[in-house]
Structure 1
Amino acid sequence: MNIRELARRSGVSTATVSRALNDRAEVSEATRARIRQLASELGYAPNEPARTLVRRRSDTIGLIWDSGQEAQGLHNPFLLGLLSAVRTALSEADYHLMLLTAPGPDDPDAAHLQAVRRHNLEGVIVLTTPPDDRCLRVLAASAVPCAGIDTAFTGPRTVRVSSDNAAGAEAAVEHLYALGHRRIATITGPLHLPPAAERLAGYQRACARLGLPVPPSYVTEGDFFLDSGVAAGRRLLAVAERPTAIFAAGDQMAVGAMHAAADAGLSVPRDLAVVGFDDIDAAALVRPALSTVAQDQRGLGEAAVAALRGLIDAAPVDTAEPRIIPTRLLIRGSSRPGA
């Protein structure tokens, strides 16, 4: 079934069919409804590449995340949840989603920009990519509308969306302090990534305000995954004056720290309180359940898509200030007295 056959069966020209399917004003409502009904009955689907050429729009948004972490990202519950939130927001706005893979060897610095032009993409959403990514810098410097989630990049048509990472970390430290903890350590994420650096800054700011000492041994780096949390937890628990509480910048690392505590014969939260960040599904399933700073995945996705649509439609958009999405502290058994 093609447009010519649909036009023959409808008794109109192919131009009229095209106008009806694209909601053009030149076609009466009755004719439009009749053509759409027949198209549905016959299983006709428009040729998307042809429609793109005619309309000069693809209604497709590209998605990029850190090329160095794509494989790991497939096993990262938070990133997968964020990807789902972005997909849902784009679908509700009648956009398609195309995943742009790692840059190729031919011209890696311009690979993303070339892909955008080759596929006639309307814009790009970027997830958790390091600020020193040269391929991303080339894209951001172009006229392509871009929205970055937890990504520090700037350009003439770029907007940034982020959770309030620093405030979330501060809330976690304040909660532990209110429980009576004065030796609070942290497991950071990879510090070249903006969310990890911002959460560390929030931890340090809260400790300074509360007068808590932060010896270098109380700050150790992980990679947001479980095994690094186990290793970091063991390092922290081996400190001469071991911490009584740990704030981990990611839930998987927090669960890893709980494993390290169990291996050391310590009870959570009696001997060691633990708070994570993200609120992945597993946070409520471990025992004791993990206290965590919850991110609003849907809010992040909707804010990124809304800002990107504004750039695509040439609406006035402030590209200087990031859109900050609030976080909230969820107190569960891993930091609750008597749990």
Structure 2
Amino acid sequence: MTLRDVAAYVGLSVAAVSRALNGHPDVSEVTRRRILRAARRLGYQPNAAAKTLVTRRSHLIGVYFLPGATPSRFSEPFVSQVVDGLLEGLSRAGYDLLFFGAGTADGAPSFLELASRREVDGAVFLGLRTDDPRWEELRRFPIPSVSLDVPIPASRAVCVGSDHLEGSAAVAEHLLSLGHTAIAMINGHTAAPVSWERLTGFSARLQQAGVHLRPEWVVSGDFTEEGGYQAARRLLSSAVRPTAIFAASDLMALGALRAARELGVRVPEELSIAGYDDIDDAARAVPALTTVHQDRRAIGMTAASAAVQLIEAPDHPPASRLLLRPELVVRESTGPARSQGRG
């Protein structure tokens, strides 16, 4: 069934039917509905290649999986639920997703090379790091782009994520309300802006209450469970140990819980632990983890909406950064402060 068949069925020109199906405003709504009914009745499906030639759009969005979110980690709750929202939002708008495994090894194609090869209309970056060797390329990246949590320097780009300053400040407020003053933080890595944002929001709220993070109690866990485990072991094996630990991701917090269990430190009786993200395992942990909830599906749908607006309304792009409000979720892993522990 072709466009010509639909045109013959409704008694209109091929050009008129094409304009109606492609949403041109010079077609009346009555005529458009008649043509759409006819197309459905006849089982007409537009030819994607022909549509691309007419509209100069592929209706493809390239999703770059980078070292922080590689295809092998697609099953992780944070990544999969963001992609789920992204897929739903873009599908509703008539776009398909094309996933790029864009590693950073020598000889890896440039961002633009991958995009040009498949003629994508837009790009979404997941797991981007500021130390990526192709970072400077983004300053000249001409394709409408959306990034998760990492603002990029491209001229047509939007960064989508949570308000990490607010979320981490809420954790600080919660620990302070429980009487904690000997507080440590397990942060991510320096190539992630969220590490700076979560540290800044957390330490600023503590300072307002007259509590200062000791430099030796701010350690890196690289956003991994093993990193959080090793960092917590160091903190809990020192001569003077904290009574509370804020880990900048739930994976690191789960590692900290394991370290405390192995060292015989009771949570929350002797040590409070809080995380960030509210992945599914946070509620299943023993004890269940206090954390900051990010609506990952909403983040994905917001990213989809931003990408579509950048492509279809270039004169009215969204704000350069779109932040969703996080929510503190208090569970069993945090409790009132006790006397400062000894290693």
Cα displacement string for residues 256-294 of structure 1 (whole angstroms, at most 9, x for unaligned residues) = 111111111121111111110001111111121110011
The one-letter amino acid of 1:190's match is: H
Preserved contact between residue 306 and residue 318 of structure 2 (Cα < 8 Å):
no
Structure 1 pair 11–107 and aligned structure 2 pair: CA distance change class (3 A): farther
TM-score norm. by structure 2 comes to 0.85
Aligned-pair CA distance for 1:245: 0.6
Structure 1 pair 269–36 and aligned structure 2 pair: CA distance change class (3 A): same
In the other structure, the counterpart of 2:42 is 38
Name the % identity: 34
Aligned-pair CA distance for 1:4: 8.2
Aligned-pair CA distance for 1:336: 3.9
Q: Does 1:188 align with 2:187?
A: yes
Bigger mean CA offset, 56-65 vs 278-287:
56-65
In the other structure, the counterpart of 1:271 is 270
Aligned-pair CA distance for 1:200: 1.7
Cα displacement string for residues 89-117 of structure 1 (whole angstroms, at most 9, x for unaligned residues) = 22232221111221688975x62212222
Preserved contact between residue 288 and residue 332 of structure 2 (Cα < 8 Å):
yes
SS in 2 for 1:91: helix
Structure 1 pair 323–265 and aligned structure 2 pair: CA distance change class (3 A): same
What are the within-5 Å matches in structure 2 for residues 64-83 of structure 1?
64-67=64-67, 69-71=69-71, 73-83=73-83
Preserved contact between residue 187 and residue 220 of structure 2 (Cα < 8 Å):
yes
Q: Matches of 2:46 and 2:324 in 1, distance apart?
A: 38
Preserved contact between residue 121 and residue 144 of structure 2 (Cα < 8 Å):
yes
Aligned-pair CA distance for 1:187: 0.8
Preserved contact between residue 7 and residue 14 of structure 1 (Cα < 8 Å):
no
Q: Does 1:330 align with 2:334?
A: no
Q: Matches of 2:288 and 2:53 in 1, distance apart?
A: 53
Q: Matches of 2:245 and 2:104 in 1, distance apart?
A: 41
Greater RCO (Cα-Cα under 8 Å, separation 6 or more):
2
In the other structure, the counterpart of 1:88 is 88
Q: Matches of 2:32 and 2:93 in 1, distance apart?
A: 26
In the other structure, the counterpart of 1:56 is 56
Q: Matches of 2:32 and 2:336 in 1, distance apart?
A: 69
Preserved contact between residue 245 and residue 272 of structure 2 (Cα < 8 Å):
yes
Please tell me the root mean square deviation across aligned C-alpha atoms, in Å: 3.0
Aligned-pair CA distance for 1:68: 5.9
Aligned-pair CA distance for 1:10: 5.7
Structure 1 pair 120–18 and aligned structure 2 pair: CA distance change class (3 A): farther
In the other structure, the counterpart of 2:241 is 242
Structure 1 pair 105–269 and aligned structure 2 pair: CA distance change class (3 A): closer
In the other structure, the counterpart of 2:125 is 126
Aligned-pair CA distance for 1:51: 1.9
SS in 2 for 1:333: coil
**Number of residues of Structure 1 aligned to a counterpart in Structure 2:** 331
